[in-house]
């Protein structure tokens, strides 16, 4: 066969396989037997191997996998992926409805959709071709999982129109795939996945795409990153448009005129939920009109125009076999119930939180009791109550220890606290938990240093404080179990890269009591360097709005410790950055910038800056960046394909800039 004939045959096979795949995986209406699909796929694989120059990125053969990645690259979302606020009962929904009506009046409708229990993903298409896929991450930065997403057969590699857009959806593992996966793992003596959500997340983070391909994941798309650029006016229209482009959306959605219709829809799915071929953990309710959504706007974390109704927690009875104690990084000793494993809301549960000794006494919990378990918000297992009438007399009272279960130091209860705490700074459990916190995503974000690896390094006495992480050698790491050359190279690279983090990452990683990620950034912005912060007085700390009395005391106490001072000196000697690298915020009064005191809205696609970069630069000059246009907006910056926000700005007579004007002012 010559090249021209091969190209013609390959095109025919790709067209057929794409058609059959769409019918089977998206429409759920197969027109040919599986054997015929497999035969055509093998023929295409053979031709592409014979004529490698004819391979293409949108060929159905890429779904088989075969790429082995070194690590996952970071991806910045063009439009942030916000989380949703929660509703747990009918009153929460009615309160949500009241807030919507107060803001936009009575002329609007909702769209109610099943809340798929999976992993949120973002897919980007350029000229109709699948270009990149990413996890949600922290909503702003995710991980590039493009190659693994290509193995999901309901993800179109080419759209029906040659357009560029970003879409959002939920990747999930169907119940049948989950059961088959766990059956195979059990046969091989491997640890079972707790639930389909964990299995889906683990599959999409496989570095070997062939493994991801065997997991038989699926996806439902539920939104467009920037719908106004496509001329779509409502969420329901957007979903219909996604259908026409070849995406798989969930057909169980319903447009509802009132909140009572939404509640009716929810009640129906509480009953039907167990019969679905995939797991859901609630219902998502969204205001349909995009102009209403823009008017309602967003908070820092979630849109005001949407809410997630969480199903009532399922309750089951099991036996409490033992109470285990763990010591956290702040020294708090936490009791955990060890249970006879039982299935709750689709997950096998063997442990549940007991929080503290007071709760155990209040609920009269004994070892050996029959207890009622539920998952709070369908996530965290907890003991609801004890079935005292089922006691046999063999149950045993539980008493919290007087000494730390890890280091045997005497436990104390600080004033105003219910928790018992180990205050020994050399307690091994606290050191280990502190190390795990230091390398976590919101802190130093050292890829490859998870809880298991940290515990392994700690057990081998290779690390005893965070500075030891920067002393690790290739030889030490290669000597550890399950550590190959590639893993070690990646880990050493990640440790080295972490030295360049901005101050707030290090500050949060140090685990100073009461200092969370947000407070760490505020402190870094205001003081600029570790040295200035370390020498700050309590009064200087309290002068910052977000810093309260307890936090100020905690910060001063931390930096007064000789051990803390020595640790920071050691980290600095290894080249760990001690300065804030971001833009320092300027108040409107302090700034002479044109942005000072002004509310700015960004819309459309910016070519030279990401939305987040533009936001940071404007706020650093004393401006405030909002998500929607209103009478309070002073300025709109309109990029390419700007939509309804630009139109509204024009109607309200608001000043409008293009990106060139924005860059000109930012560079002054």
Active centre residues (catalytic): 115
Answer left, alpha or beta for residue 511, where phi above 0 means left and psi between -120 and 50 means alpha. Answer: left
SS3 123: strand
SS3 408: coil
Neighbours of 280 (CB within 10 A): 23
Q: Residue 122: which H helix or E strand, with range? A: strand 119-126
Q: Which of 663, 608, 561, 641 is nearest to 232 (CA)?
A: 641
Apex CA 69: angle with CA 45 and CA 165, to 5°? Answer: 75
Q: Tell me if 339 sits within 8 A of 319, measured CB to CB.
A: yes
SS3 206: coil
Q: Which of 651, 601, 597 is nearest to 621 (CA)?
A: 597
Q: Tell me if 139 sits within 8 A of 77, measured CB to CB.
A: yes
**Torsion on CA atoms 62, 64, 70, 71, rounded to nearest 10:** 80
DSSP state letters, 7-38: HHHHHHHHHHHHHHHIIIIISS---S-HHHHH
- DSSP secondary-structure letter at 445? -
Dihedral sign, Cα of residue 638, residue 639, residue 640, residue 643 = negative
Q: Which of 438, 399, 402 is nearest to 422 (CA)?
A: 402
- DSSP secondary-structure letter at 172? E
Answer left, alpha or beta for residue 546, where phi above 0 means left and psi between -120 and 50 means alpha. Answer: alpha
Measure the CA–CA gap between 96 and 209, rounded to whole angstroms: 42
- DSSP secondary-structure letter at 308? E
Measure the CA–CA gap between 432 and 234, rounded to whole angstroms: 50
SS3 45: helix
Measure the CA–CA gap between 325 and 336, rounded to whole angstroms: 6
Q: Enumerate the H helices of 105-234 as residue ranges.
A: 146-150, 175-187, 196-204, 209-214
Beta strands at 599-603 and 635-638: parallel, antiparallel or unpaired: parallel
Question: In sequence order, what are the residues at sequence separation of 6 or more whose Cβ sits closer than 8 angstroms to the Cβ of residue 542?
Answer: 548, 549, 552
Q: Which of 515, 532, 529, 517 is nearest to 577 (CA)?
A: 529
Q: Which of 444, 458, 456, 451 is nearest to 495 (CA)?
A: 444
Answer left, alpha or beta for residue 477, where phi above 0 means left and psi between -120 and 50 means alpha. Answer: alpha
Q: Tell me if 178 sits within 8 A of 196, measured CB to CB.
A: yes
SS3 426: coil
Question: In sequence order, what are the residues at sequence separation of 6 or more whose Cβ sits closer than 8 angstroms to the Cβ of residue 310?
Answer: 86, 87, 88, 281, 282, 377, 378
Burial class (CB in 10 A: 0-12, 13-18, 19+), 9: middle
């Amino acid at each position: 066969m010559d090249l021209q004939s091969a190209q013609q045959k390959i095109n025919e096979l790709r067209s057929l396989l794409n058609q059959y795949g769409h019918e089977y995986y998206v429409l759920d209406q197969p027109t040919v037997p599986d054997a015929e699909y497999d035969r055509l796929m093998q023929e295409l694989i053979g031709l592409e191997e014979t004529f490698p120059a004819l391979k293409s990125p949108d060929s159905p053969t890429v779904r088989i996998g075969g790429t082995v990645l070194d690590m996952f690259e970071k991806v910045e979302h063009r439009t942030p992926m916000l989380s949703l606020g929660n509703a747990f009962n009918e009153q929460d929904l009615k309160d949500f409805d009241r807030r919507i009506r107060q803001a936009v009046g009575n002329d609007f409708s909702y769209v109610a959709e099943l809340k798929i229990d999976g992993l949120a993903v973002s897919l980007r298409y350029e000229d109709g071709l699948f270009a990149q896929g990413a996890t949600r991450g922290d909503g702003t930065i995710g991980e590039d999982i493009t190659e693994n997403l290509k193995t999901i057969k309901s993800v179109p590699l080419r759209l029906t129109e040659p357009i560029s857009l970003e879409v959002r959806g939920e990747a999930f593992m169907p119940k049948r795939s989950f059961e088959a996966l766990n059956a195979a793992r059990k046969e091989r003596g491997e640890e079972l996945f707790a639930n389909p959500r964990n299995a889906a997340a683990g599959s999409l983070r496989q570095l070997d795409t062939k493994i991801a391909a065997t997991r038989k994941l699926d996806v439902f798309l539920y939104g467009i990153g920037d719908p106004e650029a496509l001329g779509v006016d409502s969420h329901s229209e957007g979903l219909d448009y996604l259908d026409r482009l070849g995406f798989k959306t969930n057909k169980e959605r319903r447009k509802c005129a009132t909140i009572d219709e939404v509640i009716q829809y929810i009640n129906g799915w509480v009953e039907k939920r167990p019969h679905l071929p995939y797991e859901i953990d609630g219902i998502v309710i969204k205001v349909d009109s995009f102009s209403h959504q823009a008017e309602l706007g967003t908070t820092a974390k979630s849109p005001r125009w949407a809410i997630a109704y969480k199903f009532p927690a399922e309750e089951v009875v099991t036996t409490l076999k033992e109470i285990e104690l763990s010591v956290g990084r702040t020294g708090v000793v936490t009791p955990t119930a060890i249970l006879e494993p039982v299935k709750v809301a689709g997950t096998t549960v063997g442990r549940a939180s007991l929080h503290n000794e007071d709760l155990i006494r209040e609920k009269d919990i004994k070892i050996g009791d029959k207890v009622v378990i539920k998952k709070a918000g369908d996530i965290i297992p907890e003991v609801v109550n004890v079935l005292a009438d089922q006691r046999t007399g063999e149950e045993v009272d539980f008493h919290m220890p007087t000494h730390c279960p890890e280091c045997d130091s005497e436990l104390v209860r600080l004033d105003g606290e219910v928790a018992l705490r180990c205050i020994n700074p050399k307690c091994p459990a606290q050191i280990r938990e502190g190390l795990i916190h230091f390398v976590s995503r919101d802190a130093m974000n050292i890829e490859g240093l998870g809880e298991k690896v940290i515990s392994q390094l700690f057990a081998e006495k290779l690390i005893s404080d965070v500075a030891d992480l920067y002393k690790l050698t290739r030889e030490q790491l290669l000597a550890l179990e399950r550590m190959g050359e590639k893993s070690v190279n990646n880990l050493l690279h990640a440790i080295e890269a972490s030295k360049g983090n901005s101050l707030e990452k290090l500050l949060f990683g140090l685990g100073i009591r009461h200092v969370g990620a947000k407070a760490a950034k505020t402190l870094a912005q205001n003081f600029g360097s570790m040295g200035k912060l370390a020498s700050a007085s309590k009064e200087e700390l309290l002068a910052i709005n977000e810093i309260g009395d307890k936090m100020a005391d905690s910060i001063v106490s931390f930096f007064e410790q000789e051990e803390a001072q020595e640790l920071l000196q050691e980290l600095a000697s290894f080249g760990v950055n001690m300065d804030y690298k971001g833009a320092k915020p300027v108040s409107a009064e302090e700034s002479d910038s044109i942005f000072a005191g002004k509310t700015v809205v960004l819309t459309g696609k910016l070519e030279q800056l990401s939305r987040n970069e533009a936001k940071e630069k404007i706020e650093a000059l004393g401006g405030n960046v909002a998500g929607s246009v209103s009478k309070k907006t002073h300025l709109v910056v309109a990029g390419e394909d700007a939509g309804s926000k630009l139109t509204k700005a024009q109607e309200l007579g608001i000043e409008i800039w293009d990106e060139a004007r924005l860059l000109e002012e930012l560079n002054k």
